[in-house]
């Protein structure tokens, strides 16, 4: 085994993989949120953005494969660390004293699993059209752009989130994603060796701050649609 693969197999190496893949996934979540927030600027803006992405062709596929690989590494390494932890302590503590840890840190694996389930549901919903298939089909046919036929992503999002069950399921998923990120972002500092006491405040605040921005940004979309503030022109 090379030194590189030995390092990755160690617990420190695994934590480094978690930190770096986590940062890359956070970059995606932020960029995706900024793109989606264009729903507040009206159909032309968000549809033009969606079409630009769809027109990337092979570049889009390279980005998708890259994202999937990073995501797979993050989940696989988390699972490996979790099982190694369990094996090191086969009998759990009789009494858990949660003094040094936070609720978010103790529930990382479970919030992670729920975020994973959300992503599968989300892909079935907006990318594959297996959830709310009628809306998906309708909006795939609906919008013609100057460079060819493109789906009406704006109408798909609006019609999708008019269902209270769908909108609220997204809100709950964002809250759990926020819980996951609030611990994940702060622990990246630790893993990358930013342990100076001068950085303690930044380290503690960064996770909750990033999580709050993402929860508010992502929840604002389904909630604004559910409340009828966005999408008045869509029947
Ligand atoms: C309210 C929040 C969100 C909205 C409105 C939203 C909207 C969308 C839409 C409309 C698409 C399909 C784009 C198209 O086919 O043109 C999409 C794809 C996707 N979304 Fe989201 N999204 C949200 C949150 C998230 C979150 C939190 C994650 C990850 C944690 C995520 C991950 C993805 C992925 C991986 C894809 C597939 C991208 C691709 O096909 O290449 N989304 N989203």
DSSP 4-35: HHHHHHSHHHHHHHHHHHHHHHHHHHHHHHHH
CA distance 74 to 160: 29
Tell me which residue has its CA closest to atom 40 in ligand 1: 127
CA of 105 to the centre of ligand 1 (A): 26
| Ligand 1 centroid distance, CA of 93 (Å) | 40
Is residue 80 within 8 Å of 14, Cβ to Cβ? yes
Q: Is residue 233 part of a domain?
A: no
Atom of ligand 1 at shortest distance to CA of 173? 27
CATH of the domain at 219: 1.20.1300.10
Cα–Cα distance for residue pair 101/81, rounded to 1 Å: 17
Residue 7 dihedral angles phi and psi, to the nearest 5°: -60, -40
Residue 26 lies in a domain: yes
Half-sphere exposure of 158 (CA within 13 A, CB side): 21
Examine residue 28 and state whether it is found in any structural domain, yes or no. Answer: yes
In a domain, 232, yes or no: no
Ligand 1 centroid – CA 197 distance (Å): 38
Q: What are phi and psi of 2, to 5 degrees?
A: -75, 165
Residues with CB under 6 A from ligand 1: 29, 32, 36, 50, 64, 119, 122-123, 126-127, 153, 157, 170, 177, 218, 221-222
Confidence at residue 87, expressed as pLDDT on a 0 to 100 scale:
80
pLDDT computed for residue 148 by the predictor: 65
Ligand 1, atom 41, lies closest to the CA of: 64
Neighbour count for residue 176 (Cβ, 10 Å): 19
Tell me, yes or no, whether 153 lies in a domain: yes
- The answer to whether residues 181 and 26 touch, using CB atoms and an 8 Å cutoff, is yes
3-state secondary structure of 37: helix
Nearest in space to 167 (alpha carbons), one of 234, 111, 113, 228: 228
- In which residue are the tokens 């979540």 written? 29
Top mutation candidate among 24, 125, 126 for ligand 1, by most atoms within 8 Å of CB: 126
Query: Which residues face 145 on adjacent strands?
Result: 148
In a domain, 166, yes or no: yes
Residues 197, 78: Cα–Cα separation, whole Å: 27
User: 58: CA distance to ligand 1 center in Å?
Assistant: 19
- The atom of ligand 1 lying closest to the CA of 53 is 16
At residue 150, φ and ψ (nearest 5 deg) are: -135, 150
Split the chain (235 residues) into runs of 10 and give each run's mean pLDDT: 62 90 97 97 92 91 96 94 78 57 79 96 95 89 68 94 98 97 90 84 91 98 98 90
Residue 67: per-residue pLDDT: 97
Q: Which atom of ligand 1 has the smallest separation from the CA of 36? A: 5
pLDDT at 89: 66
Alpha helix (H) residue ranges in the chain: 3-9, 11-36, 43-54, 58-88, 103-106, 108-122, 133-140, 153-161, 164-191, 200-226
Centre of ligand 1 to C-alpha 1, Å, is 38
Compute the distance between CA of residue 65 and CA of residue 106 in angstroms, rounded to an integer. 31
Q: What is the domain extent for residue 157?
A: 3-88+97-226
Please give the tally of structural domains in the chain: 1
3-state secondary structure of 141: coil
């Amino acid at each position: 085994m090379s030194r590189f693969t030995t390092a990755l197999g160690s617990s420190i190496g695994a934590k480094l993989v978690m930190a770096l893949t986590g940062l890359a996934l956070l970059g995606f979540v932020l960029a995706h949120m900024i793109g989606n927030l264009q729903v507040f600027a009206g159909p032309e803006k968000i549809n033009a953005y969606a079409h630009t992405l769809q027109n990337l062709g092979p570049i889009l596929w390279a980005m998708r494969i890259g994202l999937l690989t990073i995501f797979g590494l993050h989940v696989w390494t988390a699972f490996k660390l979790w099982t190694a932890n369990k094996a090191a302590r086969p009998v759990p503590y009789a009494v858990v004293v949660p003094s040094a840890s936070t609720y978010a840190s103790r529930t990382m694996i479970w919030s992670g699993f729920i975020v994973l389930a959300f992503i599968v549901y989300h892909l079935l919903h907006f990318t594959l059209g297996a959830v709310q298939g009628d809306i998906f089909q309708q909006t795939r046919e609906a919008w013609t752009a100057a460079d060819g036929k493109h789906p009406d992503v704006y109408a798909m999002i609006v019609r999708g989130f008019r269902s209270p069950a769908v909108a609220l399921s997204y809100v709950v998923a964002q809250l759990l994603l926020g819980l996951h990120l609030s611990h994940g972002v702060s622990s990246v500092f630790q893993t990358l060796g930013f342990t100076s006491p001068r950085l303690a405040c930044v380290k503690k605040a960064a996770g909750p701050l990033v999580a709050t921005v993402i929860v508010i940004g992502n929840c604002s979309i389904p909630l604004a649609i559910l409340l009828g503030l966005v999408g008045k022109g869509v029947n």
